[in-house]
Structure 1
Amino acid sequence: MTDQTEAARLTDQLRNFAQGCRGSMWQSRDETIRLMDEAAARIAALEAELAAARRCPPSVEDMTRRFLTWPLPEDFSPDAGITFEPVMNAGTAYEHKHQPVGTNLLNYKQAKAMVKHITGAEGAADDTPARPSVAEAAKALLANCPNPIFDDLKPEMIGEIRVPITSVDEDGDEVSESIMLPWYTMKEVIHLALRTLAGEDGQ
């Protein structure tokens, strides 16, 4: 988060606090003093928070994303065999000026390597956590079955799935209805799906 964004957020917090106090300023002297003390404490806390945000350096990920969206300078003129046409279709009705940004030079992986080189973080561990495979995620969920997985899912899923049933009544007429899928059946389906994704379908 940039200083400007953080400052704007903290300013909004302070403005909201001040608006909340405004309607109470005609209270008693003691109440007014209490509100002013509270406001002063809040301002001090916000200033400390903003100062801490300014001291926090941007991450490699943040710097990489910012480079990829950085508009290249007007006098951009590469050499070493690299060519760049500032104006496309020059002298025609379709003349158009190129406005390249960082991502036109390097892709995300390349830009990240460049940022790590600049910051001296080339030997550091990647700050992007490895994405687990489907099987790994399924195993992690299985390790938490029946609970807390089923406890978390039950309030959201119970009564939500209905199954259409067609039958014939005593008069020979076709009757259609839907029945609610029981929770114990839903648990079996979820458990089977997770075992299959985890590669444990035969167990």
Structure 2
Amino acid sequence: MLVLDRDAAIDHWRRAEARIYPSVMVNAELYQQYIGVVRAVADELADVRSEDDLVVAWHERSDLVREVVSRSAPPMLALMDLGAVRDAAFCHRHRDLTREQGKALAAERLLRAKRDGAEWVVLFEDVTPLGSHTLEMHVASGRALHAAAELPLDAGRPKFTLEVVQLDPDDGAWRLDKAPPMPEQTFDTREEWEARIDQARVLFGKR
């Protein structure tokens, strides 16, 4: 019987994607071919419509990359890490799923968190090597940490933001009639941002 560890799989996919991105800094042509193959493999996963099914496909559909490269034959194939390509493609498809089915996935995660008695639940998370966007809700109160990071490839300055918003604790919907418990704040460093997230989780993690 296949035992799924969704969070571990997603983390693995993201690490693989992060290994590919630095290639843009040294070889733009290789990077473009990497991205082309990753997207082509992700397109082959268009029939996968849930996070759990994507993890199952990751375990079972081992020939995807071979099938794609046999059709496209990228010139710089010999320089590619095909294992990272495959995992990055699953990361790409997972990101598409969360965008396409964000509301349904958030409802599923909230239901699971209530069933498991979790204090906090991540309703939405979009992570790339260039930044992240996360919405984490306190299950009992509906208060949610909306955190974002922008990490440019060039020498531009990173941007880290955090706000606390009010969601409906029943279904996770945004309460547009409620002012944010904490308006958006901007931080200069990741360390300061992460420390403020931890503080906000303690401060707003109360009934």
Q: TM-score range by the shorter chain?
A: under 0.3
| Structure with higher strand content | 2
Give the structure with higher Rg (CA).
1
* Length-normalised TM-score, structure 1: 0.25
